[in-house]
Structure formats: structure tokens, C-alpha cells
A and B are shown apart, each in its own frame.
Chain A
Amino acid sequence: MEGHQLQHQAACMRKALFDQGYLDDQFLQLEDLEDEANPNFVEEVVKLYYSDSARFIRNIELTLDKNPFDFEKLDDIMHQFKGSSSSIGAKKLKTECTQFQEYCKIGNFEGCMRTFQEVKQEHAVLKKKLESYFQLARQAR
């Protein structure tokens, strides 16, 4: 039956996200908060995260451009971004954020630039994967 196939596909996609290290336990915690009255809570949180976190990316970009050696500011923005990312269970992304903060601590601009590219990429990749997953999960319901 198609319904079962879709469910199976969604389950596989979900499992892969965990197995491949994109998501951690916090995502599970969020899933546990869903019920019949709030069946899309996780998707709502993730949507909110992506619309909200765009400004952190923007601010870091601006700072790297205008005040590249303001490591304290860079670290501060990244700290907030990392916090939000952690709240949705974005495991790999969190690691990239920590890397960036490490470079901030030692004042390494090249390192910051490099890891920031990783952060942006990971942020975008995760978005696509989660969007696909949520879409499939809805269809499978």
C-alpha cells in the first residue's frame, strides 16, 4: 500500500538524519511534545528557527566584513546562533559552531572564515533535509 510505503520512506529518512549525525536527542525531545492537538510542533519550531537564525548568519557576515577582528562580537553572535541550533537538535551544526567559537577565542581570522563557510553550508543542508523529511512525513500520515 502506498501509505505504508510512504511511512516507511519517512521512517528511513528520519533514521538517516540521526545515524548520519545531523540530529541528536533534542530532536527526539521535541517530537515527544507533539500530540493530536499539536501534530506539527517540531516542524513549526524548525520553521521558526530558520526564519529567526538567518539574522545571525547575516550579522556574522557583516561583522567579518566590517569588523573582522572583533572576535568578541563574533563569538557572541555565534553563541546565540549555537543556542538556537542546539534547541532544535542540530548536532552537526552545533559542532561547526563550536569550531568557529574556538577560532574566535584564539583570534584566528582565517579559521573563522573557513569554519563560517562550513556553518553556512551545514545550516543550508540541514534545512533541505528537514524540509524533505517533514513533507514526506505529512504525506505519509
Chain B
Amino acid sequence: MEEMRSDCSSSGVQELHVLAVDDSLVDRKVIERLLKISCCKVTAVESGRRALQYLGLDGERSSVGFDELKVNLIMTDYSMPGMTGYELLKKIKGSSKLREIPVVVMSSENVLARIDRCLEEGAEEFLVKPVKLSDVERLRDFILKGEEKSEREFSHKRKMSDDSCTLTPSSMASSPSSSDSDLPLSPMSIVSDEPRPKRARLLDDN
């Protein structure tokens, strides 16, 4: 089975950068391996606080250089001491800088109320632990499709927009982006006139 595995560099697949958050050392090791096999770059941290630090949400890291650290997906454990995965999810979705990053919650407990709560708060998916390779591969494909779609729509919009349009990508930059491939996940949300869900919520960066 191992011989069939494709080489990440030759497959032509864009490498996603995933931030994994889990207080369990064993689970971090496993999720790291799952993600590497799925051709993803991984940054694994042990707490919600560390995750926010890494994402530049605690005021310590400036947004310059954020681009190199650009995270395409966050996978977080639900039950963690200190800040739970749910609390981390809320902070991310409550941040104008980070809310476009898809967040997946993982938990060993298959509790419907918990699942609903997370999805309600904007989690992309809820995975029951232990997480499988098939889960990660499915997730990766889903995120890649999203990135591809955004890129296409963004270039399309750029072609269509005229000079009178005040909302241009260059004035928008929430992250200093030098190439199209580094665009945030849904630039559509920046240029679009459509109302976004949960817009009424106060957006803050803490």
C-alpha cells in the first residue's frame, strides 16, 4: 500500500498549510503524520492560546510576514484545558482577519449538541476522533477546491471591474499578498455586495 502513495512534489498538488491544535502529544504526532502524507505543511501547537499567538491575534506578532505563515485550515481538538476548541473557534470566527480560514473541530465525544454548537459557530466540519487518513484527504480536497474556486472568481471579478469601482483588490489587502496563489480563501466576500451571515456580530481582533 505504501508504494502506491504519490510523491507530494510531483503530484502537482498545491500544499496547504494546516494549523493543528491539540493538547495531546500523541494526537499531535498522529495528525502531523496524517497531514504530511496528505501533502500538507503542518504547524502543530498545544493550546488555543498558542494558536492565537501563531495566527497573530494576540497583538504580539505584526501582520507583516503574515503571508509566509498563511494558514489554509485550522484543525482543533474540542476538549483542551484553558481555552477549548469551541472558544478558539469563536475567537477565529469573530476576527475580521481570520474568519475566512476554515476551522474543523475534532473530538472523541460524539455529542450532537456539541456538534451543532460548533457548526453553528462556523466550523466547517466536526470530526470524531481518532481522525483517519480518509478524513484528512477529504478535507484537503474540499479546501483545495475552495481555494481554486476563489482564485477563479477573483481573477474573473478583477477582469470585470472598471475604474469607477472603489473596492479593488490592491486596496483590500487584509494580508500583504504578492501572488494570486496566496489569496485569502474567499476574496469574493471582500468585493461582493451580498450580505454575509453573522455580519451583525461585533468584529474585533482580540
Contacts and interface: CB of A to CB of B under 8 A. Distances in A.
B29 to A, nearest CB: 6
A91 interface: no
Nearest to B2: A35
Contacts of B152: none
Interface in B116-131: 129-130
Interface string B17-52: 000000111110110011001000000000000000
Nearest to B34: A33
B108 interface: yes
A141 to B, nearest CB: 14
A86 B130 CA distance: 7
B92 to A, nearest CB: 23
A80 B133 contact: no
Contacts of B30: 30, 33, 45, 87
A33 B129 contact: no
A45 B34 contact: no
A86 to B, nearest CB: 6
A38 to B, nearest CB: 7
B174 interface: no
Contacts of B25: 48, 52
A86 B132 contact: no
Interface residues of B, number: 19
A86 B2 contact: no
A93 interface: no
Interface centre among B1, B2, B5, B129 (most CB of A within 10 A): B2
Contacts of B132: 29
Nearest to B30: A87
Contacts of B23: 80
B177 interface: no
Contacts of B84: none
Interface string A100-130: 0000000000000000000000000000000
A82 B33 CA distance: 21
Contacts of B33: 33, 38, 41
A2 interface: no
Contacts of B108: 79, 82-83, 86
Interface in A35-91: 35-36, 38, 41, 44-45, 48-49, 52-53, 79-80, 82-84, 86-88
Interface in B63-97: 79
A107 to B, nearest CB: 20
Contacts of A38: 33
Nearest to B134: A29
A27 B85 CA distance: 26
A84 B5 contact: no
A45 B29 contact: yes
Given A35-B2, A79-B79, A86-B108, A29 B26 contact: no
17 contacts: A29-B130, A33-B30, A33-B33, A34-B2, A35-B2, A44-B29, A45-B26, A48-B25, A48-B26, A49-B26, A80-B24, A82-B108, A86-B129, A87-B24, A87-B26, A87-B30, A88-B26
